[in-house]
Structure 1
Amino acid sequence: MITQRQISILNAIVEDYVELGQPIGSTTLIKRHNVKVSPATIRNEMKLLEENHLIEKTHSSSGRIPSEAGFRLYVDQLLEHEDVEEHPNKLNLNTLFSENHYDISTTLNRLAQLFSDQTHYTTIVVGPDHTKAAIINVHLMKINDKHLIVVLIYQTGHVKHLHLSSTITVDDTTVIKLSNFISNNLDTFLNNGKYQIDAYRLMDFNDHEVAILLQVYFLIKDHLDSETSRIYLGGKHQLIERLNESTVTSIQPILKYVESGKITQLIDQISDAPIHISIGSEIDQNLEGIAIVTRPYALANQIEGHIAIVGPTAMRYQNVIQLLSQTR
């Protein structure tokens, strides 16, 4: 059973290690925290913490560093006793959304950069999964006689442009006719478009127009089948700058996760709580030395996703938790 004094010493070791980036000894603890016990008592308590696998001895120093279990106990205390002070600069996500003219991509890119600038860690904002959002309108725009842009407008406000190149020549009148038809019959077109060939002909569409309608239908279907949640990244350089001989094995895997898009699945799996912290092997056996602090967010029009702060296990957790908690 760990005592309150041992918890206090563990907390001091974690905070000093985060601040100094080097193993912490009894002398450092006494000087930095004005501890009213003898160095021998501190060393004995540190030995007990080590036996409980909460701190570890390094080969290069007589000091100790927090273990993954030590960081876990430390952050659990922070989350359990979270006390967020009101701050005049509280970040209102809907205000940010409005300031960026209700453009989702711009807003979430800006959000990722804001968090990265303030935490000095890499920030990942997972955008809404548009496969779960309804398409409320489709427009066709002509670029030239054989190239159209298919504009999808989602219920979330997200707008997607798909390019359609065809061997069939399309004039302006046809584009207007087809665009109006799709807009006025959107649900039927999206759900049963490929089965409506005879119906199209009965509605006075010629064979060329029917062919264009089918091409638009399959273009949209292929897009919906392949689309996933989008990732908005801020401060990727924060991870890259930490790459060195001692960190390469821990940072390279998280970079691969980010670049492959697997990070969206990872964040979805670990983000059940209002603020959730995952450390090292809790995330993945190949991600030792990395911590991810996440929280869900919500904007207008049912736009939902997650914010994730990615950094070393020796992260300034208090600052990150405070910042995430100030976001509404």
Structure 2
Amino acid sequence: MITQRQFSILNAIVEDYVELGQPIGSKTIIQRHNVNVSPATIRNDMKLLESQALIEKTHTSSGRIPSEAGFRLYANRLLDQPIKENKQNNININEMYAQHHFDISSTLKNFAKLFSNQSHYTTLVVGPDHSKVAILDIKLMKVHDHHLIIVLVYETGHVKHLHLSSPHAISQTNVVKMSNFLSEQCESVLNLSIKENSEIIYGFTKFELAILNQIIDLIHYQITSESSRIYLGGKHQLIEVLNETNVAAIQPILKYIESNQITDILDEMVDSNINIKIGHEIERDIQDIAILTRRYQIDHGLSGYVAVIGPTAMHYQNVIQLLSRIS
């Protein structure tokens, strides 16, 4: 346990280090903060904080920098503080959804960009799990005689295009007939079983049955394999801070983002409140990176989450306040 004064010194070291990007000494704390204690007292308190592994001494300076544990304690204190609500400054995602004509993809793409611009950090917005969202309609479009586009329209407004090629020519009559059938059966498409006797029941030719089975297999694969979509804002924020000291920390995160594996990490840390993971809390091989997340909710019961990714020396208070404004 540390005293309130010692926590105030830790708080000063964290905030000054985030602001200045260099080790912080007692002289800097006295110059930048209203402290009513002597430099010797500050140095003694810094030694105690160091003994508890909350700050660390670098090889190049007599100053100290926060450790992961120091950032963790600082972040926990911020999360424990009540946040003043200001509805005028809320980020209303439902209003954005309406402004984008209830197109979930367009809404979340712009939301990610907006949030990154305001936070000044890379932002991931993870979209709703479409495997749990009903399909509103299915349409077939003929590109040419040997290629179809299957259009899936979800009740969220999300639209997905699948492609199917055939070695045999598909007539427009085939397309209309199959499209009408799929549109009528869209609510139960995952349970459809088109067998050979379906040509008697539905009046399909064997060729049409073969194409229908391929289409249903594609839809089935799409629905069961697509869980969440990622919308990325401000990727350049991470790339711009790449240097020889942090490349080992940032490269894994960039790799996760590119491969969509980032959702595996985020799924483990998201609850109804703002959640923070720092360095090795994210994954054993990751350091010098922090992730802050919060869930969002849209009409029709759609939900996902926002993740802000930055260095451990992050402006936590600003990001927490920004995440708390999502409504």
TM-score > 0.5 by shorter chain: yes
- CA displacement at 1:286 relative to structure 2: 1.5
Cα distance in 2 for partners of 1:27, 1:273 equals 41
The one-letter code sitting in structure 2 at the alignment partner of 1:260 is: S
The one-letter code sitting in structure 1 at the alignment partner of 2:21 is: G
Structure 1 runs (4+) greater than 6 angstroms displaced:
none
The one-letter code sitting in structure 2 at the alignment partner of 1:52 is: Q
Secondary structure class of the residue paired with 2:192 = helix
Cα distance in 1 for partners of 2:104, 2:116 equals 18
Cα distance in 2 for partners of 1:187, 1:320 equals 41
Q: TM-score scaled to structure 2, two decimals?
A: 0.96
Tell me the residue number matched to 1:181.
181
What do the CA deviations read for 1:21-45 (whole angstroms, capped 9, x no partner)?
1111001101111211110010001
Deviates more, 1:52-61 or 1:203-212: 203-212
- CA displacement at 1:245 relative to structure 2: 0.7
What is the aligned-residue RMSD (CA, Å)? 1.4
Equivalences for 1:190-269 in 2 at 5 Å? 190-194=190-194, 196-269=195-268
Cα distance in 2 for partners of 1:252, 1:186 equals 42
Pick closer, same or farther for the CA change 1:273–1:202 going to 2, 3 Å: closer
Q: Answer yes or no: is 1:56 the counterpart of 2:43.
A: no
Tell me the residue number matched to 1:105.
105
Structure 2 unaligned blocks of 5 or more: none
What do the CA deviations read for 1:79-117 (whole angstroms, capped 9, x no partner)?
001323415232100111111121111111111111111
Tell me the residue number matched to 1:279.
278
Cα distance in 2 for partners of 1:113, 1:105 equals 13
Cα distance in 2 for partners of 1:118, 1:186 equals 40
Cα distance in 1 for partners of 2:292, 2:309 equals 7
Kindly indicate whether the alpha-carbon contact (under 8 Å) linking 1:122 and 1:233 is maintained by their aligned counterparts in 2: yes
Kindly indicate whether the alpha-carbon contact (under 8 Å) linking 2:72 and 2:278 is maintained by their aligned counterparts in 1: yes
Pick closer, same or farther for the CA change 1:316–1:188 going to 2, 3 Å: closer
Tell me the residue number matched to 1:2.
2
- CA displacement at 1:222 relative to structure 2: 2.5
Cα distance in 1 for partners of 2:210, 2:34 equals 80
Kindly indicate whether the alpha-carbon contact (under 8 Å) linking 1:156 and 1:302 is maintained by their aligned counterparts in 2: no
Structure 1 unaligned blocks of 5 or more: none
Secondary structure class of the residue paired with 2:125 = strand
Taking every aligned residue pair, what percent have the same amino acid on both sides? Answer: 59
Cα distance in 1 for partners of 2:144, 2:263 equals 38
Secondary structure class of the residue paired with 2:24 = coil
Cα distance in 2 for partners of 1:250, 1:184 equals 51
Secondary structure class of the residue paired with 2:83 = coil
Q: Answer yes or no: is 1:146 the counterpart of 2:146.
A: yes
Cα distance in 1 for partners of 2:119, 2:316 equals 10
Secondary structure class of the residue paired with 1:287 = coil
Kindly indicate whether the alpha-carbon contact (under 8 Å) linking 1:23 and 1:58 is maintained by their aligned counterparts in 2: yes
- CA displacement at 1:260 relative to structure 2: 1.4
Cα distance in 1 for partners of 2:227, 2:5 equals 49
Cα distance in 1 for partners of 2:244, 2:182 equals 57
Secondary structure class of the residue paired with 1:142 = strand
Secondary structure class of the residue paired with 1:309 = strand
Tell me the residue number matched to 1:291.
290
Secondary structure class of the residue paired with 1:270 = coil
Kindly indicate whether the alpha-carbon contact (under 8 Å) linking 1:201 and 1:210 is maintained by their aligned counterparts in 2: no
- CA displacement at 1:189 relative to structure 2: 4.2
- CA displacement at 1:219 relative to structure 2: 1.8
Cα distance in 1 for partners of 2:319, 2:21 equals 18
Pick closer, same or farther for the CA change 1:188–1:48 going to 2, 3 Å: closer
Tell me the residue number matched to 1:74.
74
Secondary structure class of the residue paired with 2:37 = coil
Cα distance in 1 for partners of 2:99, 2:187 equals 32
The one-letter code sitting in structure 2 at the alignment partner of 1:119 is: S
Cα distance in 1 for partners of 2:249, 2:24 equals 22
- CA displacement at 1:314 relative to structure 2: 0.6
**How many pairs does the alignment contain?**
327
- CA displacement at 1:175 relative to structure 2: 1.5
Cα distance in 2 for partners of 1:145, 1:249 equals 51
- CA displacement at 1:253 relative to structure 2: 1.1
Cα distance in 2 for partners of 1:241, 1:214 equals 48
Cα distance in 1 for partners of 2:105, 2:187 equals 26
Secondary structure class of the residue paired with 2:115 = helix
Cα distance in 1 for partners of 2:138, 2:188 equals 13
- CA displacement at 1:308 relative to structure 2: 0.3
Tell me the residue number matched to 1:131.
131
